[in-house]
Amino acid sequence: MKVGVIVVWRPKGVTGWNGRDSEPGLSVPRGLSFDRSCAPYTGVHLASLLPSHWEVELVHETLCEVDLEMDVDAVILSTMDYCADHARSLARGFRARGVKVIVGGLYPSVNPAYFEDCADAVAVGEAEPIIDEIARDLEAGKLRKIYRAESVADLALLPAPRYDLVESEFLVPCTYEATRGCPFKCSFCILSGLPSPYRHRPIENVVRDLRSVPSSWGHYQRKFVFFLDNNLGADRQYFRELCEAMVPLKRRLATQTSIDTITRDSARMMGRAGFQMVYIGLESLSQQSLVGASKKHNKVDEYKRRIRYLHDNGVLVMSIFLIGLDGDTPEYLADLPNLVHDIGVDLPVFSFAAPLESTPLRESLRQEGRLLEGDLNFAMDGSHLVYKPQGLSADELEVALFGMMKKAYSPRRVLGRVGRRVNLGLTTSLFMTATNLHYWWYERAVAKSSLQRLRQRGPWPGTGALLPPELEVASAGQG
């Protein structure tokens, strides 16, 4: 059996998003359509679960367009919300040639009906409990329409990822998942709407898997590992043991964890283990907004101190900030880029809160009648607002986000951030510069295309200008 495992990426230049009547449609800037920085993990993992006698081809749409003519008997499509419609058109394209299509992932798990008419089978939940049955039925030519995982995976049983299948174009091809789930239940997080207890892989398996990366990869490709966990440090004892086990591997590591897991001690362990960057969902600098989003374990008055622990150990901090949580005020949003800078974040990213299907956030917005109607999937990329915010108008909030992206990545801010970390040594400084430049380009490109979208929507209420004057000026000459 020849099978393609396809990790679906954002739609490219798609139009027709109808979430908002006056919206001209989503247009993805060409440069943002591809991303070779870091390989997704889902594909190498799914491939490792398939029967060993199958011939598997892995395709990451982050790197290239999917070839609908690829020589396969079946495809496994993994998709999230914002590429869901695109996944449907891929599914139709393959099925038109008689290729069997199985769709799964986070979005199909919460809305399997969306794929009913275009896939031979839809998988709901984690792959591990159902993948053997799907494989058997596929070989026997009797796929069922739906496969529901009634349990979750035992991570101790997972094989090593199929790193041999990852495209060599990725700068960081080695991504990994040591833990799954999260102990918390933040209102906007998909994990709050899915059964996802916190589990971890045995440390010896983590070491085994990281040692299995192909020798054909370049030096730096072998050196870097990104743990794409939701919250790697949530089990303190496990995290301590994991960090200890990483020391002899001499890798450069990055991961994601929640801020409450960062202590003087854990930061020291991370530095020793080789962590170079950690992605932390600080989400907000308003305690009120955090409480409203059920993210009470984030304590704003502790952010600066905990971030300093990481810097003291050579670990850089990337963080996402969600804009438009209930509790956000115009004054807070105007000040946010400064606040973010002051607490020491090295790489800030800004995004609307995406009311993902099945999350408590979406449910409460729906109940309050604040959610826009229509197919909102395209809009789940963090740069589309799909609900009526509280405390300020939707237009104000949109302008606040895109203005903030530009402010936080102004040359002055970027230089300031890079400059204050030169004391961390040459490698960290280079890394800091490269990542800031990457996000300078990314955040400003998103801001630019989004502002164009707002401009096309018509005059800014009350002013007659297309945008508030300060943004007209700020966007002029932007690259």
Least Å distance, CB 307 to ligand SF4, is: 17
Q: Containing H/E element for 65?
A: none
Least Å distance, CB 42 to ligand SF4, is: 16
- Does residue 17 belong to the site contacting ligand B12 (CB under 6 A)? no
- Does residue 230 belong to the site contacting ligand SF4 (CB under 6 A)? yes
- Does residue 231 belong to the site contacting ligand SF4 (CB under 6 A)? yes
Output 360 or 374, the one with its CB closest to ligand SF4.
360
Tell me how far apart the terminal alpha carbons of the chain are, to the nearest angstrom: 48
- Does residue 319 belong to the site contacting ligand SF4 (CB under 6 A)? no
> Which segment (66-74, 181-189, 220-228, 454-462) binds ligand SF4 by CB under 6 A?
181-189
What binding mask, one character per residue, do residues 337-376 give for ligand B12 by CB under 6 A, x or -?
--------------x--x-x--------------------
Least Å distance, CB 193 to ligand SF4, is: 10
412-433: string of b/e by CB count within 10 Å (b at 16+)?
A: ebbeebbeebeebeeebeebbb
- Does residue 232 belong to the site contacting ligand SF4 (CB under 6 A)? no
Beta bridge partners of 148: 124
In Å, how far are 195, 246, 275, 292, 323 from 163, measured between CA atoms? Answer: 28, 19, 21, 41, 36
- Does residue 257 belong to the site contacting ligand B12 (CB under 6 A)? no
Name which of 89, 60, 88, 54 is nearest 74 in CA terms: 54
Name which of 333, 175, 363 is nearest 255 in CA terms: 175
The one among 75, 155, 190, 277 contacting ligand B12 by CB under 6 A: 190
> Which segment (57-65, 187-195, 238-246, 445-453) binds ligand SF4 by CB under 6 A?
187-195
Report strand pairing: 175-176 vs 199-200: unpaired
Report strand pairing: 179-180 vs 199-200: antiparallel
Least Å distance, CB 263 to ligand B12, is: 22
> Which segment (127-135, 237-245, 268-276, 326-334) binds ligand B12 by CB under 6 A?
127-135
- Does residue 199 belong to the site contacting ligand SF4 (CB under 6 A)? no
| Contacts of ligand SF4 in 259-298 (CB under 6 A) | 281, 295
Beta bridge partners of 74: 3, 100
The one among 184, 309, 350, 378 contacting ligand SF4 by CB under 6 A: 184
Sheet holding 55-60, edge to edge: 55-60, 2-7, 74-78, 100-104, 121-124, 146-148
- Does residue 112 belong to the site contacting ligand B12 (CB under 6 A)? no
Q: How far apart are CA 396 and CA 334, in angstroms?
A: 11
- Does residue 186 belong to the site contacting ligand SF4 (CB under 6 A)? yes
Least Å distance, CB 185 to ligand SF4, is: 6
In Å, how far are 28, 108, 130, 145 from 148, measured between CA atoms? Answer: 34, 11, 7, 10
Please report which residue ranges of 325-386 form alpha helices under DSSP H. Answer: 330-342, 360-367
| Contacts of ligand SF4 in 244-263 (CB under 6 A) | 258
3-state secondary structure (DSSP) of residue 400: helix
What distance separates the 2 farthest-apart alpha carbons in the chain?
66
What are the tokens at 39?
């390989």
Tell me the residue number closest to ligand B12, measured at CB: 104
Least Å distance, CB 230 to ligand B12, is: 4
Give residues in contact with ligand SF4 (CB under 6 A).
182, 184-186, 189, 191-192, 230-231, 258, 281, 295
Give residues in contact with ligand B12 (CB under 6 A).
7, 40-42, 45-46, 76, 78, 80-82, 102, 104-107, 123, 126-128, 130-131, 134, 153, 177, 189-191, 228-230, 351, 354, 356, 380-382
